[in-house]
Amino acid sequence: MNDGGIPQTHGHMVHGLFFNILKQTNPELCKVLHSMNCTLPFTLSTLYKCGAHPGIMTSAVEKGKRVCFRTGLFNDELISAVSLAMNKAMITRPISIADISMSIKAIKLLDTEDIADLEQRAAKSADRLRTFRIDFQTLTCFRSEGRSLLFPEPRLVISSLYRSWEAAGGYNVSSETLRKIVENVFPARYDMHTGMLDMGKYLLSGFTGYCIYEADKCLGHKEKSVLLSLLGMVRYAGLGYKTTMGMGQAKCTIIEEKD
**Amino acid 145: pLDDT:** 84
Cα–Cα distance measured from residue 257 to residue 247, given in angstroms and rounded to the nearest whole number: 31
Judge contact between 143 and 247, C-beta under 8 A: no
C-alpha span between 221 and 142 (Å, rounded): 29
Q: What is the pLDDT of residue 1?
A: 43
Q: What is the DSSP string of 15-62?
A: HHHHHHHHHHH-HHHHHHHHH--S--SEEEPPPEETTS-TT---SEE-
Domains of the chain: 4-102 (3.30.70.1890), 115-255 (3.30.70.1900)
Helix axis angle, 27-35 to 11-25, nearest 10°: 140
pLDDT, residue 93, reads 73
Q: What is the pLDDT of residue 241?
A: 95
pLDDT along the chain (259 residues), means of 10: 65 91 94 91 89 65 75 91 92 80 85 90 93 96 90 97 94 96 97 88 90 96 97 95 94 82
- The model carries a pTM of 0.89
The per-residue pLDDT for 180 is: 98
Which pLDDT does position 223 carry in this prediction? 97
pLDDT, residue 95, reads 83
Q: How far is CA 147 from the centre of its chain?
A: 21
